[in-house]
Amino acid sequence: MSRIDETAEFIAVRIAVLTVSDTRSLAEDRSGDVLVGRIAEAGHVLADRKILPDERAEIAEQLRIWCDDPAIDVVISTGGTGLTGRDVTVEAHRDVYEKEIDAFGTVFTIVSMQKIGTSAVQSRATGGVRNGTYLFALPGSPGACKDAWDEILLRQLDFRHRPCNFVEILPRLDENQRRK
């Protein structure tokens, strides 16, 4: 069963937050604020924060920039994961991924089902890895950001979480590139 190993030392990770929206400014970014607050509360470091419009190429470029920055371990985006024509965040993430974390979307759907029932089917939350950096795309609602953080990311981004977590394998994510 899932647990926190209190004998292990906590390791803070550096997280960038990207809000994807054609209409929000930093002052109106409630979903980004939820993530920033939870990142700080958990003891992690906010490495950067931006808002970009729903433009696939711009989103993908920002994700690449952050993935190439050794001072960033994780990127979390919020917004643009729905089904409308302007929702292109998932496609931008997939343009960048080297590997997709398929179960992230599945687990997010399970968590969402408990909160919003069958409306969870409309989410396309996704996760992946590029250049030793984790990337997660969350829906744009504050509730979805709370659910993803509280039920998945809080534990998986805690080195003390057992039986396993994302942080313990972070140093090995790009081992294929180092062997060349």
Closest CA to 154 of 8, 15, 7, 1: 15
Q: Could you count the other beta carbons within 10 Å of the beta carbon of residue 20?
A: 29
What are the structure tokens assigned to 94, written together? 């997939």
Task: Give, in order, the Cα–Cα distances in Å from 138 to each of 13, 38, 117, 141, 166.
Answer: 19, 14, 17, 9, 17
| Per-residue pLDDT, 8 | 94
| Residue in the block written with tokens 């919003």 | 116
What per-residue confidence (pLDDT) applies to 56? 98
Residue 35 neighbours by CB distance under 10 Å: 27
Strands (E), 79-153: 99-100, 126-130, 133-138
In order along its 180 residues, the chain shows pLDDT tens digits of: 789 999 999 999 999 999 999 998 999 999 999 999 999 999 999 999 999 999 999 999 999 999 999 999 999 999 999 898 899 999 999 999 999 999 999 999 999 999 999 999 898 999 999 999 999 999 999 999 999 999 999 999 999 999 999 999 999 988 776 545
Phi and psi at residue 22, to the nearest 5°: -85, -10
Closest by Cα among 2, 32, 35, 17 to 149: 35
Measured between alpha carbons, how far is 151 from 177 in angstroms, rounded to an integer? 32
User: What per-residue confidence (pLDDT) applies to 81?
Assistant: 93
CB-CB contact of 114 with 162 (8 Å): no
Phi, psi of 15 (to 5 degrees): -120, 130
